[in-house]
Amino acid sequence: MNSEYRKVSTSKVTISELMLPSHTNFSGKIHGGYILMLMDQIAFASASKYSGSYCVTASVDTVDFLNPIEVGELTTLKASVNYVGNSSMIVGIRVISENIQTGKITHCNSSYFTMVAKDSAGNNVTVPPLMLCTRDDVRRFYNSVKRLSLKKEKIVHEETFDHTSVEAIEALKNYRVKVSDELAK
């Protein structure tokens, strides 16, 4: 176990790529799946750089595609480890695009990937603890703690919520659904 603290800055990775016509979807914008692939690559690079180990993607939090990316724009992804557990790390990723003719920069999306460090046999490896050196490091760390807490609350709610109860079936009337007569009994 490596107990020597590592700075967030040791995990920072930036990649830029020119968006080509081969990266487009049917509407001529850059395909979201292609951006997700790039996000997974940078999450791997950031987590592996920080931990010194091979890392795998354990989960991806919400990815909101805020703005489309156009062909010919320079897309830049920035990533850093925001939180560490025993063998897991939360990597924050920000994606921006730049129109290289006008210089206009657009925030396209942000997401958080949970990465797990592994050894050559596929077993989890303990990662070094995190040293927070800037106010942004502290903010990102606390935001990760809050997201983890909300995720745990959601899991507990899903495990304890009785979707078959009369109240739950009755509450469905507030939505654009119709419950079959058999289910309503």
Q: For the chain, give every domain's residue range.
A: 6-134
- The region of weakest confidence among 36-40, 100-104, 141-145, 151-155 is 151-155
Bridging pattern class, strands 13-18 and 88-98: unpaired
CATH architecture of structural domain 6-134? Roll (3.10)
CA–CA separation, 35 vs 63, rounded Å?
10
* Overall average pLDDT of the 69-91 stretch: 97
